[in-house]
Each structure stands twice: as C-alpha cells, then as structure tokens.
Chains A and B, each alone.
Chain A
C-alpha cells in the first residue's frame, strides 16, 4: 500500500518534470565510459539499493570487495551514479532521464516492460546481438541458447537489446504448507488430490483442530484482491487442477497460439469449487478483499491450516506462524491433483528484468568478462572466488580451511553478492533448486560458500520445500507474454482486469451465478479482449522469429 502511495507522489513529480522533456540537452552530468592511462576502464551504472543492504564500515557501492576485485583483476572501475530504494522510484528516475534527454548510464537494469520498450524505441540503447556473438563466454552463450525466451522482453523488430537478469526460474513457484500438528491430531493423511484436500479442510473447519472449543478455524488461506494466481497465498493450484491455465497469464492454447488464461472454460470448474469452499467456511470470510500481506494473517494467527506459498516462505511467514502458535508444526507438501490427475501452478517468469546499454557504451567485452566471472562463482569454477566471495564477509579462514558459520565471522556475515551489478549472486533458471534437491536427497555436505549460504543456511524446511517444488517442475504454467502492454491493453486493460476480478469475486461469494463467467468471457472478447489476443500473438510471432 505504501508503495502505491509513493508511486502517486513520484508521479506528481514526474508530471512536473515532463516539461523538461522538450529540451533535448545532452547534459553531461552522467559521465560516459572512458579508458584511463593505466588501461583501466570506467563503467557507469545506476541501481536500486534496498535499505537493508549491509556494508562494512566505510564501504559503499563504489568501494567494496567486489569493486576492488573487479578493478584489480579485470581492470573495470564501476561508478554508480545514483541509487533508488525500490524499483518504482528507480524506474521513475530512469523514465525522467529518458524524457529529459539526459545521457543514460553505460549499463543499467530495467524490469518494467513498458519502460524497456520505450527505451529501445527511443534509439538510445544498443542492440546486443553482435556483442553476444563476439564477447560472451561459451558458458554464457550456452545459457542464452538454453533460454531464448529470456530475451523476449527486450526484443524489437527481430533485434535483441538486453541481457536478461535471470530469476531462479522456479524460485517463487508455490507448494502447500500444512499444519502437520493439526493433521496428526485429527488422524489425517497429507492430501494427494483435491478431494483429499476438501476432506482435510472440512475437518479443519468442523473438528476444532486448535482445541479451543470454538468453530473459528478455516481450511485454506487465499489472497484474491490482486488476482488468484499470485506470489503468496496463491490460488493458482486450484485452477491448475482443472485445466492447463491459470488466471491472469497468457499460455499456449491448443493451436499453439497464446490465449488468455482467465477466459478459458477450465476456469469455471475451479471457480465453482472456490464458491463451494467459501460456502462451507473453508476460506476466509473476507477472502475477496485480502491482498498477499493481509491474507497471511489468518495463517500466522493459527486460524488457518493450509497456505500455498513458495519455498522461501519457510523464513517468512511460516516462522511467524510457528512463533505465534507454540506447538505448531508446519510441513511442505506437493500440490494435489484434480479429478483428471491434473496438476498445475503459476510459474515464475524466467527473468527479473533486463540489462540495457547506452548506445555510446564501448566496452561490452569488459561487461561480459565481469558477468562471466560472476557466473563462474555460481558454477564453482572461479579462479578468484575459491572459498567464497570475500574473506571476512561471507567466510573466514581458520587453519587454512574456510568456515561459513555466521558466529565465527567477525561482525557477522555479509553477502558481498549484493554488490555485483546483478544486485545478487547471479542465477541460472532452475539451477539453484536442482542443487537443493541434490543436497537434500543425498545429504551431501555443502562444499562452498554458495551452497552453504544460499541453501543449507536457509534450513531444512526450505530445502525440503524447494525439493518438492523442483520435483513438480513439469506442472509449471508460465506467463508467456513478456512484452510491453499492447495498444489495446493500454486502452482497455484496466477495464478488463477490473471486470475479471469483480466477476471472479462475485462468483466465489455466490453473489453471481456460475453463468456470470460465460457472460464475462463474452464481454471480455467484445470489449477489447479479441484485439488484445491478436496483438499478443503478433508480438509473440515477432519475438519468436528473432534469433
């Protein structure tokens, strides 16, 4: 909520500065890349810097173990021109720089699809096709060939303009977290199918699992205010159990073209179920007005027995639930299957944004060298980061052996990965959870700082959950439309989303009959949905053609 309010504030400022957009002065406030006499290259960048990023005394983004390493070993001096505390403000600042004709930094990340497109069409960023061919290491090329879709957000007219910042791939995919102590108390087995799940929920509602003598518990915690397929208290698995589509996503239809999930006939069955569950008291009475943050309250308070959330939920909010309810045991379980044996879940996208490059940037070779070295650490064959990223930060040497325990590192552990321009230790989709699965199933000890800090330090519960998510990878339903909003989306998207959320909420609450869904589909098509589908597929064809 705070974010939104902030966004409006910045929007006002933005509007005020639109005037500046007409002056086309190439103000030189942001210095370009240059080569100094000693052969070192200075590269300018900008980035978000979250408030909780830690630095050792006296260090900052321009002076830390990673920048020192990069300058000494690779001859790259990084100059961070400015930072913003969150993506919204960051994007607004970039947008401002664009509309006021300022010079863009050499390298910068953008995760807003519209802004990426605006930047490309403004002609101020460089196409990267040639640079990848010439400078990308075999390792990087292989990853890029493996995930060609990752380039789609920054592909225009068959040319690629950005280098993807990969996500964990399945890092934020969800699974079920269930109160194991409730299951045990009521003598129930974990659910295999939606039917099992219904029986469990029924018991959770009616058999007083918390033993307080009151009928005050619910079965499933859901967030529906911002759509039913979301990052926490996710309801997408219910839709996935009845068809190949989840709400709000564009997936491949039967003929191979992209279709919009929310208007597919399989939605109906899931909505009917949700309505049934609501009537039986399995869901929060207020489910229609709960967003992700408010929805989890019922689970944290010990009023709800099941929540669908990603593996990282083991840290938050599951720990909060354990703290609040002494004796509570929360265990991760695979998603249940629907009547036809179907399972499906909302899949996180491949990328969290793109790196773009000013068209005046001359040192793509250096950029790729740096990126490759960062990836070398992930693949554990770096000649620079043998035990970890920096001694005294994420490990210490004791008798010539690395120690990763927080308590043994003076001043506590700090993750220098956050200092990379990738803003974290880089990832390759699916790689992390593959590694988790290996560590968890073989009980192998962590070999390096990466394995220790990114996996083992997060705990048993996380490892188990990530393993389960990884085992259900074939059920991912990803949003395949990663381009900027289309023309009709800009005009009508707002209305269509509003109509969708309104209709779904009313059906769940039983305020509208199930047939309201058919009316919604018809109206959706008539009020712009048809055009949007056409535009989305035009986009899809155009990016697929690109190399």
Chain B
C-alpha cells in the first residue's frame, strides 16, 4: 500500500517536472500528421473492402450494392480439402521459418561475437546481409539452376560424397526444407545484426565478475549472455508471430510447381490463384480475412507473453 502511494507520488512529481518540457512541442507532433494521414488513407480506408468477403461481389455494383451472402464463403473454405491443406502447409512452413529464423541468427551472432578481428567480422556481417537485397524473382531463377538435379551446383557437390542427385524443387519431401533453408539464407543477416547490437549492450562488468568467479567461455555464454539476450529474443519472436500465416508469397510463387503443390501451396498463393487468376474476389477476400484474424489473435497473445516474461511493452 505504502509503496503504491509512493509510486503515485513519484509519477505525479515526474509529470509536474515534465509538463513545462512538453510545451512547444506541438510542431513536432504536427510532423506526425502526414504519416497518420497516409496510414489512414492507405491502411484503414481500404479495410472497408473486407465486406467483400460477406458478399457475392460484382465489380460494377461496387460493395454497396453487391448481394449479401453472409458466411457462405467461409463455409466453402472449410468444406473443401484444398483450403484445409493450404492452411496446414502455411502453418508448417511459417512455424519452421520462425524457429529457424530465431535460432540460426542467434547462434551466428554468438559465434561472430567471439571474433576479435574487426575487419573479418564486418566483412562476414555484410556478406550475410547481402542476399536480403535480392528479390525472389531473381533468386527463383538462380535457385532453379543451382538446385537442378542435372548439373546444379548443389547436386554436383553432393555427388562428391556419392549422394544420388536430389530433385529439390520437385520433391514433396524436400520442398519445405528448401523453402526454409533458402529463406534463412536470404533473411538471417538482418536478425544477426539485431542480435549483435543486443550483445554489445550487455554490461561488461558482468563478464568481469564471472571471470573472477572462474566461469569459462561456455559458462559465460549460458549464464550471462543468453539471459541478457532473452528480452530481445522474445521481442523478435513476438514480432514474427504476427507473420505466422505469411509463409512468404514471393518466395513460394517463384519456387513452387505442380509437383510440390501438396506441401508447398500456401494461403497467399492460393488466394492469388483463386482471386486474381480465377476472378473469385469474394472468396479470396474471405480466405485473406481469415488469415488476418488468426494473425491478429497470435500477435495479441505474443504481446501478452512478451510482457509477462520479458516485461516488453509497446503501449
């Protein structure tokens, strides 16, 4: 009780102190307006388009006059096995991506952190970050060549060890692996940099104390580095939760083919084919909306967990 009152008093005094500072900052806040306007116009207004999911949308009627069908399209979605299949594929691919996109860069950052040659470290960092700037359209073409069972560089390398050529992009057992590995190859550089930044902010005196206590490198990592990194790991993990149903449209669209529809087709590519290629806008919107709702729930859960275990809060 007492402490609560104290806290209140403290915040009260803080506010009193802050008030004069705030005066005259409205110009700064005004600078926010264009950004808010853009978000409103381009993110919020188009949301009205979601009503299409509950209608039989006809382009020339617009969604004010298209006939209502209620939850019809959502029912269709669960009626057919193809929709269930793509939802499952999406979940599997993105879960794998989230796990490995945390694990790989973290390990990489820890290893890189042990390197004391600054030049080498910087070079490695840049090289790892570089694929991030290539688009999947370009990479798709390159990967088809690299992973070719006939003369592709990967299979040539494997053949040195007597491995039979593997048809990576045409094999249901391999396709997901390829998708996850190539995604990590392309994107892990970014998270590596985030983790490296977090590593530099750990108080060096902690290590000094640990060394005095006789901890070796391994023990330092387990007892100091990892616990200190926990908040940022949770933050990165939480942010990626919102993407759990985004298994990577560009990537899959450029890599998949009829041979791997079974394991490779995801919600976004499905919506693309149904909505744009088949012209069933309403159904495609329904599937897309379903995806957004699930993502939204996951983000909320993610933030709750992040607050509970890492005291991380955005608002």
B-binding residues in A (CB < 8 A): 1-2, 4-5, 7-8, 11, 15-16, 18-19, 21-22, 24, 95, 98-99, 101, 114, 118-119, 121-122, 124, 216, 224-225, 284-286, 288-289, 294, 485, 489-495, 498, 501-502, 504-506, 509, 527
Contacts and interface: CB of A to CB of B under 8 A. Distances in A.
Contacts, number: 130
Contact of A19 (B48, B82, B148): B48
B82 A98 contact: no
B259 interface: yes
Contacts of A485: 278-279
B278 A18 contact: no
B300 to A, nearest CB: 25
A288 B60 contact: no
Contact of A489 (B48, B148, B272, B278): B278
B142 to A, nearest CB: 12
13 contacts: A21-B59, A98-B60, A101-B62, A119-B60, A216-B151, A285-B149, A285-B150, A285-B165, A288-B170, A491-B280, A494-B273, A498-B273, A505-B257
Interface in B35-91: 42, 45-46, 48-49, 52, 58-65, 76, 80, 82
A512 to B, nearest CB: 11
Q: Which 3 A-B pairs have the closest CB atoms?
A: A21-B62, A122-B60, A501-B258
B63 A18 contact: yes
B170 A286 contact: yes
Interface stretch (B16-24, B246-254, B307-315): B246-254
A483 to B, nearest CB: 13
Interface string B204-227: 000000000000000000000000
B279 A490 contact: yes
Contact of B144 (A4, A99, A294): A294
Interface majority SS (helix, strand, loop, mixed), chain A = helix
Contact of B46 (A1, A7, A15, A224): A15
Contacts of B60: 98-99, 118-119, 121-122, 124
B150 A286 contact: yes
Question: Of A19, A101, A225, A289, which is in contact with the most chain B CB atoms at under 10 Å from its CB?
Answer: A289
Interface majority SS (helix, strand, loop, mixed), chain B = helix
B265 A498 contact: yes
Contacts of A7: 276
Given A101-B62, A494-B278, 20 more contacts: A1-B253, A5-B137, A5-B253, A11-B275, A22-B62, A22-B63, A99-B59, A118-B59, A122-B59, A122-B60, A216-B150, A225-B257, A284-B150, A285-B167, A286-B167, A288-B257, A490-B279, A490-B280, A491-B76, A494-B273
B262 A502 contact: yes
Contact of B259 (A118, A288, A294): A288
Given A225-B257, A289-B259, A16 B45 contact: yes
Interface of B: 42, 45-46, 48-49, 52, 58-65, 76, 80, 82, 137, 140-141, 144, 148-151, 165, 167, 169-170, 249-250, 253-254, 257-259, 261-262, 265, 270, 272-280, 283
Given A21-B59, A22-B63, A286-B170, A11 B46 contact: no
B141 to A, nearest CB: 8
Contacts of A289: 144, 169-170, 257, 259
Nearest to A508: B259
A82 B250 CA distance: 30
A495 B270 CA distance: 9
A21 B48 CA distance: 11
Contacts of A119: 60
A73 to B, nearest CB: 37
Given A15-B46, A18-B46, A493-B278, A502 B63 contact: no
A491 B249 contact: no
B276 A225 contact: no
B62 A99 contact: yes
